[in-house]
Amino acid sequence: MNVPKILLIDDDPVVRSLISNILRKKGYEVVLAKEGQEGLELARRETPDLVITDYQMPGISGIEVLSRMHEIDPKTPVIILTAYGDANLTIKSIQTGAFDFIEKPINPRELLETVKNGLSTLESVRQKEGPGILPERKKDGNVMVGKSPAMREIFKNIGRISQNNVNVMITGDSGAGKERMARLIHESGYNKDQPLAYINCKILAEQQLQDVQGSGGVHAGISGRNAMAEKLKQAGNGTVILDEVGMLSSQMQMYLLDRMSRDDLEESRMWPRFISITTQDISDLVSENLFLKELYYKLKVFSLHIPPLRERKTDIPELVKNLLQELNPELDKKVVQLEDGVVQLLQSHDWPGNVRELKNVLMQALVLSHGEVLEKKHIRLEGKPVVVGKDEVFEEQPRSMDEVEKEHIEKVLKYTRWNKQQASSILGITRPTLNAKIDKYGLKKI
């Protein structure tokens, strides 16, 4: 391959300048366009090896550019660039055929790595596959958000698996959002118009135990099998969510395995995708002979793990926005703004209850709120003292705002390993402001 040619489409001149400088310093030829239509015209004329396009632009969107690039040359990798971190956009980009998805503000290392991977994939396609047509995929889902690398990778994977029927196992701590993710997979899939059946395996096991005790063991498991059979019939070619799959009794495991193994039966033509969610390590249950190995491997064709919220606190601002949109109509509130310091306060907490705990905290704050602004005084975090209000008592020695700010900025810089671009994003301030505060407080990189 000669010098790779990259087409960059973005209406922001600062972004165009930043990205083009990064790419040119690495030896790439860069062609610039200010909006989508101009970019498509350049794509036809310049035949770039790779396209980077902003998502939100005047005229046609980045998704439309992506879709029409497939008509021009389906082999050309297209990278979507955006400041928006919701699952819907990421999944839609992947489904429409995007090679990858990069969030603003731009991380130069991530940009160069993604471009390198895209060009490498293009070279492989040219050498091994020749010309071909990539399918256009257009499905939506919008029930999760997150900008952290872990969540962005999860959204990409959901986009990849949404167009087939592979079974998925989702792991994560209680309250992390496993059921919400399972529903997102269904709602993003090609079979989203088919039924979604939900089975609470813990309740199923408890009901089965009651049946055994009540019948003296004579009809053990019959009602459980009937309930499972009814759910499978209800799902048809849709999706079955197995909540806390590790709680299935040995009898129900054998029954489900038997049903999943009947490939030669007429009824197997109507078969759903299984999405299993669990807080347990099922492999440990297999090792202890508490879960059938064959069933485990049938259910875990593809696995997704949701990290606890304490490991992805950069997702909190997007989660708060999303949860407020969800909770406002439920509580008849119109909270659309956050008081300064609310996000920082929420990011200072470790969230043992994960997203569920965050939702509960926000729900309580909304109940206490009176206007359009969510105030710090209404945030009640478990284990943290309430230090606002003249009639309330501090549980620790009060400190000045400068002391608090210095400590927080120092922690964020340490957390990001002094990546000022990432630190300023977390703090919600500009990089020049961050530099000024570093000088003000005499902070040093250790």
Tokens 């008509």 -> residue? 71
Which of 152-156, 260-264, 374-378 has the least mean pLDDT? 260-264
pLDDT band at 35 (very low <50, low <70, confident <90, very high): very high
Predicted local distance difference test score (pLDDT) of residue 424:
76
Task: End-to-end CA distance of the chain: give it in Å, rounded.
Answer: 43
Is 158 a residue whose pLDDT tops 70? yes
The confidence score (pLDDT) of residue 49 equals: 93
- Position 74 pLDDT exceeds 50: yes
What distance in Å separates the CA atoms of residue 200 and residue 144, rounded to the nearest whole number? 22
Residue type at position 426: I
Give the β-pairing of 100-103 and 78-82: parallel
Q: Which helix (H) or strand (E) holds 101?
A: strand 100-103
Residues 94 and 12 in one domain: yes
Q: Which tokens in the block code for residue 321?
A: 């926005």
Question: Does 319 lie in the same domain as 284?
Answer: no
Are 222 and 283 members of one domain?
yes
358 domain-assigned: yes
Of 163, 164, 146, residue with least CA distance to 155:
146
Q: Are residues 235 and 324 located together in one domain of the fold? A: no
> Dihedral (C-alpha) 115, 72, 42, 99: value to the nearest 10 degrees?
-20
pLDDT winner (highest mean) among 150-159, 268-277, 402-411, 420-429? 150-159
129, pLDDT greater than 50? no
Please state whether beta strands 100-103 and 373-374 pair in parallel, antiparallel, or not at all (unpaired): unpaired
Q: Where are the alpha helices (DSSP H) in 129-200?
A: 149-161, 178-188
Is 90 exceeded by the pLDDT of residue 230? no
Asked if 70 and 134 count as a contact pair (C-beta separation under 8 A), the reply is yes
Residue 389 lies in a domain: no
Give the mean pLDDT of 83-93: 70
Average pLDDT, the chain: 82
Instruction: Tell me the helix, strand and coil percentages in the chain, rounded to 5.
Output: 50, 15, 35
Return the bridge partners of 32, or none: 8
Q: 319-335: buried (b, 16+ CB within 10 Å) or exposed (e) per residue?
A: bbebbbeebeeeeebeb
Whether residue 273 sits in one domain with residue 171: yes
Higher pLDDT, 392 or 257: 257
Q: Rounded to the nearest 10 degrees, what angle do helices 87-95 and 178-188 cross at?
A: 40
Domain that holds residue 427: 401-441
Q: Taking the CA atoms of the chain, what radius of gyration do you get in angstroms? A: 26
Please state, in angstroms and rounded to a whole number, the distance separating the CA atoms of residues 186 and 240. Answer: 9
Q: 68: domain CATH number?
A: 3.40.50.2300
Residue 38 lies in a domain: yes
- From CA 343, how far away is CA 317, in angstroms rounded? 6
Q: Is the pLDDT of residue 169 over 50?
A: yes
Q: Please report, for the chain, how many H helices and E strands are present, in that order.
A: 18, 12
Kindly report the CATH number assigned to the domain that includes residue 414. 1.10.10.60
pLDDT of residue 127: 58
Domain of 207, CATH number, reads: 3.40.50.300
Give the total number of structural domains in the chain.
4
- Tell whether 226 is covered by a domain: yes
Examine the domain organization and report whether 84 and 177 are in the same domain. no
Biggest distance spanned by C-alpha atoms of the chain: 79
Give residue-wise pLDDT tens across range 314-353: 999 989 988 998 888 888 888 888 888 899 999 999 999 8
d(CA 309, CA 315): 8
Tell whether 123 and 17 lie within a shared domain: yes
Query: CB atoms < 10 A from the CB of 249, how many?
Result: 18
Averaged pLDDT for residues 111-120: 90
Lowest-pLDDT range, 179-193, 298-312, 375-389? 375-389
Both 303 and 314 in one domain: the answer is: no
The pLDDT value recorded for residue 34 is: 93
pLDDT at 190 over 80: yes
- The tokens of 93 are what? 């980009």
Q: pLDDT band at residue 42, thresholds of 50, 70 and 90?
A: very high
| Helix (H) or strand (E) segment spanning residue 235 | helix 222-235
Give the pLDDT mean for 196-201: 90
417 belongs to a structural domain: yes
Mean of pLDDT values over 118-128: 72
Q: Which residues contact 272 (CB under 8 A, 6 or more apart)?
A: 194, 197, 232, 235, 236, 237, 238, 239, 240
Q: pLDDT-based confidence at 265, cuts 50/70/90?
A: very low
> Tokens 């919008």 map to which residue?
142
Q: What is the pLDDT of residue 210?
A: 62
Phi, psi of 373 (to 5 degrees): -115, 130
Same domain, 302 and 333: no
CA distance linking residue 343 with residue 376, whole number of Å: 9
What is the tens place of the pLDDT at every residue in 280-317?
Answer: 999 999 999 999 999 999 999 999 999 999 999 999 99
**pLDDT at residue 398 in the model:** 54
Higher-pLDDT residue of 203 and 223 is 203
CATH number of the domain at 329, please: 1.10.8.60
Is residue 137 assigned to a domain? no
Percent of the chain with pLDDT over 90: 35
Q: At what angle do helices 201-215 and 222-235 cross, to 10 degrees?
A: 150
Instruction: Give the burial class of 246: count Cβ atoms within 10 A of its Cβ; 0-12 exposed, 13-18 middle, 19 or more buried.
Output: buried
* Same domain? 289 vs 175: yes
Mean pLDDT, range 140-158, rounded to an integer: 76
> pLDDT band for position 139 (50/70/90)?
very low
Q: Considering the domain boundaries, does residue 151 fall inside one?
A: no
Within a 13 Å sphere around the CA of 125, how many CA atoms are in the beta-carbon half? 18
Kindly state whether residues 186 and 289 are assigned to the same domain.
yes
Q: Which pair of tokens denotes residue 424?
A: 């300023």
Same-domain pairing of 106 and 64: yes
Structural domain contains residue 47: yes
Select from 1, 11, 5 the least CA-distant residue to 33.
11
Q: Which residue has the higher pLDDT, 212 or 210?
A: 210
- Residue with the larger pLDDT of the pair 119 and 392: 119
Tell me what pLDDT residue 84 has.
64
**Where would I find the beta strands (DSSP E) of 299-349?**
302-306, 337-338
Give the whole-angstrom CA distance, residue 62 versus residue 215: 62
Last residue of a domain, one of 307, 328, 344: 307
